[in-house]
């Protein structure tokens, strides 16, 4: 009989929304991974971690470097770069929640360090495994859409009263605001679907009282192949628009509502449960043009595939599930968008 390969010991830095809602459940459900240690200073969170996962809780990330096979950074955005750099310099591969860094230059430095050390560095762009995004990729691959002329993509919510915390109240040093938060997903998806960007225009505002980070932002991208992406992120949309509207030369795709996986994680459902990423037919999108419209099945969402890809990278030498150099490309666009909104100009890349 062959020897059983021990699971990779994962150290998770941070147990806020990102750590508790996404990373911990996904890590625990992924074959080949074991959530062994979590960094948090909250007694309440420590008790929850012990009850749910039986993981060791420590107060400082430095305790992970010699005790884990993989470090996952899900702490506040301003800490992503120093923590990832410390892990890599200690010889530990790293997954970093988006955004990887505050600037493309910082992200480039981390990617180069990982390459020099021969270590995996990946970025948790989980929205690449949303069912609606996978459906668009399927429709593009099959040729059903034809050539895409315009992509509209939105993360819009109605939250007129701020929740507080660094994401809303912090300035640029906190890497807060929706442009770098949800905008990281929308820009990443647009780049994956339509390719490199040559021009960026953006409008960005802080609409609600008491916050300093953007909560209502629009970004327009011109892609090298001629398509345009129009992207919205907002916390002050009384009537949110469609999640996706793709206008192709042959037909179009319209989709309302968010991927089902986040709501199921919030409900406590295990990501390994049968049908976890399946969307009910009443939530499917619409494919067609003019009067010829019909529902189209949504591909199953597959957040677990990210961490399955991490295992394949560490065990088999497969490419990282999200290449850090793609994060550099995304941050280049986000920086251009911030400059465009600040200066009121279009930015060429």
Condensed to tens digits (0 to 9), the pLDDT of residues 214-241 reads: 999 999 999 999 999 999 999 999 999 9
Tokens of 177: 């605001």
96 strand-pairing partners = 73, 123
Phi, psi dihedrals of residue 14, rounded to the nearest 5°: 105, 135
Starting at the edge strand found earlier in the chain, the sheet holding 33-39 runs 56-58, 33-39, 8-13, 70-73, 94-97, 121-124
Give the chain's end-to-end CA distance (angstroms, integer): 57
Whole-number Å distance between alpha carbons of 286 and 297: 9
Average per-residue pLDDT in the chain? Answer: 96
* Average pLDDT for 171-180: 84
pLDDT category, 173, cuts 50, 70, 90?
confident
Whether 231 contacts 182, CB under 8 Å = no
Q: How far is CA 99 from the centre of its chain?
A: 8
Whether 73 contacts 64, CB under 8 Å = no
pLDDT category, 118, cuts 50, 70, 90?
very high
Q: Is the pLDDT at 4 greater than 90, yes or no?
A: no
* 125 Cβ neighbours under 8 A, 6+ residues apart: 98, 184, 185, 188, 322, 326, 327
Nearest to 315 by CA among 90, 66, 33, 74: 33
pLDDT category, 5, cuts 50, 70, 90?
confident
Q: Is the pLDDT at 1 greater than 70, yes or no?
A: no
- 41-80 pLDDT tens trace: 999 999 999 999 999 999 999 999 989 999 999 999 999 9
pTM of the model: 0.95
Q: Is the pLDDT at 199 greater than 80, yes or no?
A: yes
Q: Tokens 């002050």, residue?
A: 236
Q: Write down the pLDDT at residue 43.
A: 94
Q: Write down the pLDDT at residue 170.
A: 65
Q: Write down the pLDDT at residue 2.
A: 52
Which domains are present in the chain? 8-126+306-321 (3.40.50.720), 127-301+332-348 (3.30.360.10)
């Amino acid at each position: 009989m062959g020897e059983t390969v021990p699971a990779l010991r994962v150290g998770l830095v941070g147990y806020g929304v990102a750590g508790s809602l996404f990373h911990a459940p996904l890590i625990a459900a992924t074959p080949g991974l074991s959530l062994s240690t979590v960094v948090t200073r909250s007694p309440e969170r420590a008790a929850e971690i012990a009850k749910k996962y039986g993981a060791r809780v420590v107060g400082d990330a430095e305790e992970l470097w010699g005790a884990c096979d993989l470090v996952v950074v899900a702490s506040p955005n301003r800490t992503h770069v120093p923590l990832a750099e410390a892990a890599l310099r200690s010889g530990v591969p790293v997954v970093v929640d988006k955004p990887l860094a505050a600037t493309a230059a910082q992200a480039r430095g981390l990617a180069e360090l990982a390459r020099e050390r021969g270590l995996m560095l990946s970025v948790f762009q989980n929205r690449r495994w949303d069912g609606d995004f996978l459906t668009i990729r399927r429709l593009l691959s099959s040729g059903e859409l034809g050539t895409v002329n315009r992509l509209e993509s939105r993360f819009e919510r109605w939250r007129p009263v701020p929740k507080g915390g660094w994401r809303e109240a912090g300035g640029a040093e906190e890497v807060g605001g929706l442009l770098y938060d949800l905008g990281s997903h929308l820009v990443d998806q647009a780049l994956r679907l339509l390719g490199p960007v040559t021009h960026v225009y953006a409008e960005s505002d802080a609409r609600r009282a008491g916050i300093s980070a953007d909560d209502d932002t629009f970004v327009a991208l011109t892609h090298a192949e001629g398509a345009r992406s129009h992207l919205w992120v907002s916390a002050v949309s009384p009537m949110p628009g469609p999640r996706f509207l793709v206008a192709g030369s042959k037909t179009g795709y319209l989709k309302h509502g968010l991927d089902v996986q986040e709501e199921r994680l919030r409900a406590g459902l295990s990501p390994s449960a049968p049908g976890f990423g399946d969307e009910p037919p009443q939530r499917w999108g619409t494919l067609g043009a003019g009067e010829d419209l019909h529902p189209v099945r949504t591909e199953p969402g597959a957040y677990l595939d990210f961490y399955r890809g991490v295992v394949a990278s560490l065990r088999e030498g497969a490419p990282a599930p999200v290449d850090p150099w793609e994060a550099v490309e995304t941050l280049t666009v986000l920086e251009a968008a911030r400059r465009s909104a600040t200066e009121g100009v279009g930015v060429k890349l």
